[in-house]
Amino acid sequence: MSGPTTAEKRGTREPKGSSEPDSSRPGARNEGFRAPGARLLLIALGLVLVVAGGIWALFGSSWLRVERVSTSGTRVLTPREVEEVAAVPIGSPLVSVDTDAIEARLLRKLPRIDTVEVFRSWPHGIGLKVTERQPVLVVEKGGKFIEVDSVGTRFATVDKVPSGVPKLLLKAGSAPSLRRFDEDRLLREAVGVTGELPEKIARDTRVVGVTSYDSITLELSGGRTVFWGSGEDGAVKARVLTTLMKAVPKAGHFDVSAPTAPAASGS
């Protein structure tokens, strides 16, 4: 009867049917990674398809194209005038419309426009939200009237004076002050004065006369006049003038050029 083999004695017998993978076989270590790799590939392909579909929807399909333009905020201008200058490319993909270029074109060609917002109105529209300049003075020239806004910008020429807007009468001529302040500066000074006037007095103002930087006069309804002086201390002068008019309601001339020593005269 034969005895145990050397391997059996040492306890190194290899069990039959071992479940451990044989790392010596080619590719044995990668078998466990095949399924996750396939899933990642499918996810990547799905993302590519989604992106490609989105690009096609934005640029290639007929779903998101410009079909209409809407304009709001116009007062003197008409929506049609604004839209003709805007020249929005009807039929183009909405995402490709250059809204900055449209805004720049409107501001350049329609100086009556102070600000404009150009925006996409999904899925088929472009919106134009317009704010027009408002005249605070008009300058007569050649039988017509140039409108001037609150920052001194001349922006439009009209045939008649808009209701409630005073005329600016520049009487500086060859006054010495013109050597220091040109007509544009004097115009801005006059604009600044109109911005300081109380609402009731502003409504009554018919003419703003400017002889020099420190000689601005208001002509009010009923033949009344106000010597304002320079544009400095405008808010103080406005309060003083309001008080003076209440104290001497029948006066025909008011002087607030030195607001600490106002005066009223005439009747």
Residues 6+ away with beta carbon under 8 Å from 93: 58, 59, 60, 64, 65, 66
Cβ pair 139, 148 in contact under 8 A? yes
CA 122/CA 191 separation, integer angstroms: 42
For 197-217, the pLDDT digits (tens) are 999 999 999 999 999 989 999
Over residues 37-51, the mean pLDDT reads 68
Within 8 A by CB and 6+ apart from 138, the residues are 145, 146, 147, 148, 158, 161, 162, 165, 166, 167, 168
Give pLDDT, residue 57: 45
Q: pLDDT-based confidence at 58, cuts 50/70/90?
A: very low
What mean pLDDT is predicted for residues 56-81? 82
Between the alpha carbon of residue 129 and those of residues 26, 96, 119, 245, 263, the distances in Å are 70, 19, 8, 42, 48
- Looking at per-residue confidence, does 56 or 150 come out higher? 150
How far from chain centre, in Å, is Cα 258? 39
Of 169, 173, 208, give the one whose Cα is nearest residue 192.
208
Check whether 114 has a pLDDT greater than 90: yes
Whether 212 and 250 have beta carbons less than 8 Å apart is answered as no
Mean pLDDT of the chain: 84
Percent of the chain with pLDDT over 90: 67
- What pLDDT was estimated at residue 1? 46
Which has the minimum average pLDDT: 20-34, 100-114, 166-180?
20-34
Quickly state the pLDDT bin for 40 (edges 50, 70, 90).
confident
Give the pLDDT mean for 64-77.
95
- Specify the 3-state DSSP secondary structure of 93: strand
Which of 239, 234, 236, 197 has the alpha carbon at shortest distance from 219?
Answer: 197
Quote the distance between the C-alpha of residue 44 and its chain's center.
42
